[in-house]
Chain A
Amino acid sequence: MSWGVRDLDVRFGEHRALQGVTLETPNGRVTGVVGGDGAGKTTLLRCLVGALTPDAGQVRRPDSRRIGYLASSSGTYPDLSVEENLAFAAMAYGVPAAEARTRADEYLERAGLAAARDRLAGNLSGGMRQKLGVIRAMLHRPELLVLDEPTTGIDPVSRADLWWLIASAAAEGAAVVLATAYLDEAERASWLLVLNDGRTLAEGTPEQIAAGVPGTIRVSSRRPLDEAARRSWRRGATWRIWSPETARAESGTVRPDLHDAVTVAALADELDGGVERGDAA
């Protein structure tokens, strides 16, 4: 039985936060929801865990006892210690004390938090607090683990630790859903859903999405002008120019990676009459 959402529609007054979004989240796999700020990732995840009721569509999720959720705020109490935060979660989810302690010890140790057990969560650095949040969310061995941008703004060392925790949860058989704005992170998922303005821009494995770019991408060291400027973006010291119609591989073209694919998809959406990126009010 796999969890997920189908044809989800969510509206906040005039604003359509999600439109016809479908996502399956198989057990033992990490599914990624990718998009920038305002794309609808948080809304999608909130529907999935039952914090928000959609206007249309279906949600398949286990009972709240079998769900672990980390909201984009870290979900830890700043004036409780690391230990106390985990104790609260254990009690709320009905995890027997001994089991909770063992699991907590193991995860805290591996995540580098063991020395900070008695420290107040509010005094932890951002990375440590997020790690605590993830441990809290998976302490009760949930079947569905949903994490909303757990690694945004977190340093790479903490990020590696976090991904260890995520991998552990998937190894235990949980269906892990992760929202992220980072593509290099998205590449670590086994399935991706790319959102833009509440709509699905692309979906598939990272390889499938990269391979699915229509047309070709050319690299140039000179700023493209006029019409080409609307189809291009800068990356590093060069510009990448997308030609949607060309099918043949020409000189100077590159094989698109995930980054290119997502950028192209967003560009295509924009040229189709979507709103210019970053300006949506």
Chain B
Amino acid sequence: MIVKEFRQLRRDRRTLAMMIFLPILMLVVFGYAASFDVTTIRANVVGPQAERLAAVLPVPFEVEEVDPAGDRADAEMALRDGEVPVAFVTDPGGVTALLDGSELFIAKAAKASLSNLADQIPAGITSRVDVLFNEELETSAIMVPGLAAMILLFVGTVITSLGVVRERQAGTLEQLAVMPLGPWDVFLGKIAPYFVVAAIDMVVVIVAGVWLFDVPFRGSVLVLALGALLFLFVTLGIGVLISSVSQNQGQAIQLALMTLLPQVMLSGLIFPLSSMPGGVRWIGYVLPLTYFIQISRGVMLRGAPIDALWAPFLYIAILGAVVMGLATLRFRRSLAPGPPRRRREREPELQGAAR
């Protein structure tokens, strides 16, 4: 039995891949990526004393932009637009540090640093710390937008791939190809329900977050909806692609999980990207989930306008077009004329028949 089982395992490439891939992923994540420690914090400095302050700002702060002519409003906008997580506003009264609460761990780290530095500030100069967008520094505030993103990801890849591969497993794909249904009818018909389900789920999560957990929703619903739509294109497309290379639901789940787990771990959903070393961080920058999380957190917590979020939008839009394009091509091909399986299928009687 043992010998046989090993032999079968050797040939099951997907399980083998999982057995190798998962431990490596876990190693990378927990070795390098899983950290809440922030080492550098980019910051803008504005106001009349900007240059002087910039010169003396210690580590972990790293000055990004110095704008002596700027004022608090400029600083706030920079934070809202996600340019920097921290901004220092200097005025005759003193120094105010503005922290972006939607970057929870950075804000916490900044706050801690600043309280340490308080001793070094000469007497007579007032210093204040204002946390914007997530004043209480609540974790739920950043988790809820992240969850909304997770749902779209989960329904889009896992659930969709299962649903589409079910067709192949039942052997009815061939039947569909011959029916008077165009490939578009079949394709849209297959993914539409999952689209609807994902959208409803997301709305439920956001509404629950706003009502039950007091998560703010400061931005434009339309912008978030657009972002969600584009992100769904990506995830649904990946789901269909997964189903096109899987023969049954078991295989589809394996592949879907392999695309899901890295995204959950390395997209900034749980562990902030800024805490990850560069070598690992670039993985995060390739994953689509990373960008939608930026969109959902930006819109919900900071009220960021669409032009501030142009980068994530663009990435997702392009990725969506590419993935959907590939998915429709492959789907059409599986419906269109192709070679039959080489061996005969098992007789239908075998499937759960009592004789």
Contact = CB atoms under 8 A, between A and B. Distances in A.
Establish whether A and B are touching in the complex (CB under 8 Å): yes
B178 interface: yes
Nearest to A146: B178
A152 B353 CA distance: 14
Contacts of A163: none
Contact of A77 (B170, B174, B181, B349): B170
Given A12-B339, A52-B337, A64-B179, A73 B352 contact: no
- If over half of B's interface residues share one DSSP class (helix, strand or loop), that class is named, otherwise mixed; here it is loop
B180 interface: yes
Contacts of A64: 178-180
B175 A75 contact: yes
A123 B354 CA distance: 10
B171 A153 contact: no
B180 A93 contact: yes
A69 B349 CA distance: 19
A243 to B, nearest CB: 34
A43 interface: yes
A125 B349 contact: yes
Interface stretch (A126-134, A187-195, A211-219): A126-134
A20 interface: no
B340 A126 contact: no
A9 to B, nearest CB: 14
A126 B178 contact: no
A125 B338 contact: no
A73 B172 contact: yes
B350 interface: yes
A37 to B, nearest CB: 5
A22 interface: no
Contacts of A152: 347
Contact of A92 (B170, B174, B181): B181
Q: Which of B178, B179, B350 has the most CB of A within 10 A?
A: B178
Contact of A37 (B174, B337, B344, B351): B344
Contacts of A31: none
Contact of A74 (B179, B343, B348): B348
A72 B349 contact: no
Interface in B139-193: 166, 170-172, 174-175, 177-181
Contacts of B351: 78, 122, 126, 129
Interface in B13-52: none
Given A72-B345, A73-B172, A46 B353 contact: no
Q: Which of B171, B175, B179, B350 has the most CB of A within 10 A?
A: B175
Contact of B340 (A43, A78, A127): A43
A69 B338 contact: no
Contacts of B166: 79
Contacts of A49: 178
Interface in B324-355: 337-340, 343-345, 347-355
A66 B108 CA distance: 69
Given A64-B179, A77-B170, A93-B179, A46 B340 contact: yes
Interface of B: 166, 170-172, 174-175, 177-181, 337-340, 343-345, 347-355
Interface of A: 12, 37, 42-43, 46, 49-53, 63-65, 67, 69-79, 92-94, 122-123, 125-127, 129-130, 152-155
In the A-B complex, the 9 residue pairs with the closest CB atoms:
A73-B171, A126-B349, A153-B347, A75-B175, A53-B337, A64-B180, A52-B337, A65-B180, A126-B348
22 contacts: A12-B339, A42-B340, A46-B337, A46-B340, A51-B174, A51-B177, A51-B178, A52-B337, A63-B180, A64-B178, A71-B174, A71-B175, A73-B170, A73-B171, A73-B348, A77-B170, A92-B179, A125-B353, A125-B354, A126-B351, A152-B347, A155-B355
